[in-house]
Structure 1
Amino acid sequence: MQYNLKMPGAISLWKESWALYKERFSPLLKISALIFGLSILTELVFPVEMKGDVQVFSWPYWVATMAVAIVAILCSIAMVYVIKDNAPVKDSLQKSTKIFWPYFFSSIIAGLIMGIGFVLLIVPGIIFSAWYGFIGLVVVIENIRYLKALKRSKDYVKGHTLEVVLRWIFIMFILFLLLIPTFILNKNNTMASNIYADIVLLFYVPIIQIYTYLMYLHLKEIKNTQENMQPSGV
């Protein structure tokens, strides 16, 4: 019996992600539109003021931004349910509220570890990001939380750290290319730059979510295969 212990290449993952994106396009776009619609609304209602070369943000802007951040977390969780189960948007959002706090605090723990890694040296930060980058999916799909979720995410990535890093570089490089116009617009019109970035992210964030989900599935499958290959008993 042959076992597949290799992850698909970045381009293969992209094609797989694009196919699933087309299947789930409508519900994913609705969820994404909720995030970035609120973000764009915040930009329009509370525009950033310029004092010389310094951007000045009002306190209502920060309050609105915090609210958008909470909605974004709920929507990120909801996207997982849509991608995994093709669940309706309303049901996905309702389910996301039940797991918000475990998801939030698990992500905070992972974020702190990644941040410490980047403070120490860039390389540890990149490695920690690869190890713990799937913690959200572990929390949502496997209902494992906090430190146990950290360990599970790391276990999946173990032996495939470089592969994961390279595949994330690929997907983020495409995003960088799409966002190049923002650097041009930002020189003359900050609001236009922000709105353009939101529109790009509106369509691209679901692809990143799918791409990450598929990496998680492949890593999980490889891990399970490796465990099944182990001789039972000693």
Structure 2
Amino acid sequence: MSITERHTAPRGEIATAVRDLAPVALGLAPFALLIGVTGARSAAGAGTAVLSSVLLLGGSAQLTALTLLAGGASAGAVVATVALVNARFLLYAAALEPRFRDQPTWFRWLAPHFVVDPTYAMVAGRADLEDPARFRRYWLTAGGGLAAAWVAMTALGAVLAPVLPASAALTVAAPAMFLAMLVPHLRARAGRLAAVVAAVVAVLAAGLPDGLGLLAAITAGVVTATVAESLTDRSPS
């Protein structure tokens, strides 16, 4: 590799991560706005909504926590419920472990904060991140960009809460988030299969309360993609 190639290669992963993140962040914007609106209009307050975006970085868990706090639930009950809602991240972490194994210590401590549905979907849809340095650049760009966009949109939702109809945000939040989750997977056959499974589950589970239908659809899609990719890797070429 030439000196020029060595200097431009890092820009490649960063540019790719930004390009992959753009439609995901756009799709998640209504859901982040909803978090801000919900927090600002509840007893939890706008500050708690924004802080939850920094600490949790997960819409389902944030809505659950804000709802419980507004209802007077104890801190222990909130923590236990949020842990249960986020239990699916254990599956993501197990799948990502080989890519974290050879990373620097600081990365293994800090980068798992970005293990959420969108970032997992983004890296699961790529086969060019085997090199630890390339994965590290891509992951930090995608995770940091997602976190910044999520917190900013949550804060914007809190600011606009007095004039933004909560019902309108809620109407578009679920399908927008769902589409954002599908985009990174559609490049491969496993992703298209996952999209079909997730869509079917979303329709069947549409009547479930508190966003559980969307959560079920996302989980079904991610599991399907993971299993399909695993079977593809094991099949003879």
What is the TM-score of this pair, normalised by structure 2?
0.32
What is the TM-score of this pair, normalised by structure 1?
0.32
Q: Which one has a bigger Cα radius of gyration?
A: 1
